[in-house]
A = this chain, B = another copy of it.
């Protein structure tokens, strides 16, 4: 694959922006303001269910058809953390004192790592980089690396031995994992948690759990309702993936009441905003959730089809995923950055170059599943470029 002159010029500028953004991709809004000429048609960097965003926006338009209604949400202080937790508690059938509401899951990751992890944190690579970047200087971080030869499958027996050897006080497991989508069966994970009650913290990031399933009903298999059994279990849940509302910043965590209390004792007073409070009020509404369930399942099925089509394309290897994204490896010598630049500049498709992902050796790109039509366009474009 060869870049043309426009693509090569763009590549240089794009790379310098990416370097400035650290280990996260610049958002579409940032990109658009920096490259006004760029026509981004498909944002496959952004891991969200577009049908759920549509569902939410339809309801948003209805509820806020009067400017006075939205003014209320923007003008006044949002409710405090424990008040918003009650709605979420009702929805997921957990006692409210187990719930901590966050300004996005990212705030919860920061709060948990900086308040509860005391000495040594085990992180599984590849991962979402904030899990180790938010560790402050006094913490030691040890890495357990998933193997390419094993399709980045998480071997729990190997992990058990690693824990015995390294003796960390805390561990993070993203399930399904980001950026590869590997999923651990809920029963296996539960056994693992039972066997590791001597750890201070078992942090399970379930931000992508709405896209994983274990039966043909595509039922969500969250472990959140086990938080009353295990004092050391901390479940983190982003809402940006399921609902595609990253700009609203909504996330929550399920943990022991003592932990929630200790966080609220010294902070996190008004960390929700008027629109995240509104979002959570919908989230606890029966009718809205029934509609959501239907678009969740539709999207899962389309994602499976997307991944199946991608795996027929030559010169790339597609890794198994239960997320709403897929990790591909380029195996014909083309650089990941070149594929990303060509797709972005000439096709308007924004994908995630994984060059900066620790634990990935090779040319990897992460691609989110979008709408059915967008997925078809992506397959055509990648086929055209790679074959």
Contact = CB atoms under 8 A, between A and B. Distances in A.
Contacts of A270: 104, 106, 246, 249
A72 B43 CA distance: 12
Given A21-B80, A247-B277, 6 more contacts: A27-B78, A73-B247, A76-B246, A110-B267, A247-B275, A248-B274
Question: How many monomers of this chain does the complex have?
Answer: 2
Contacts of A110: 266-268
Contact of A30 (B24, B79, B240): B79
A273 to B, nearest CB: 4
B72 A61 contact: no
A166 B110 CA distance: 34
Interface string A1-37: 0000000000000000000011010111110000000
Interface stretch (A133-141, A167-175, A358-366): A133-141
Contact of A60 (B74, B103, B249): B74
A275 B57 contact: no
B79 A130 contact: no
Given A266-B135, A271-B107, A28 B74 contact: no
Given A29-B79, A80-B24, A83-B30, A74 B275 contact: yes
A244 interface: yes
A305 B277 CA distance: 36
Contacts of A249: 78, 103, 270-271, 273
For chain A, the bracket of interface size reads 35 or more
A60 B74 CA distance: 11
Contacts of A266: 110, 114, 133-136
A29 B76 contact: yes
A160 interface: no
Interface of A: 21-22, 24, 26-30, 43, 46, 48, 53, 56-57, 60-61, 67, 70-80, 83, 103-104, 106-107, 110, 114, 130, 133-136, 240, 244-249, 266-271, 273-277
Contacts of A134: 266-267
A198 B337 CA distance: 50
Most chain B CB neighbours (cut-off 10 Å) among A43, A73, A83: A83
Contacts of A277: 29, 247
B27 A76 contact: yes
A48 B104 CA distance: 26
A230 to B, nearest CB: 26
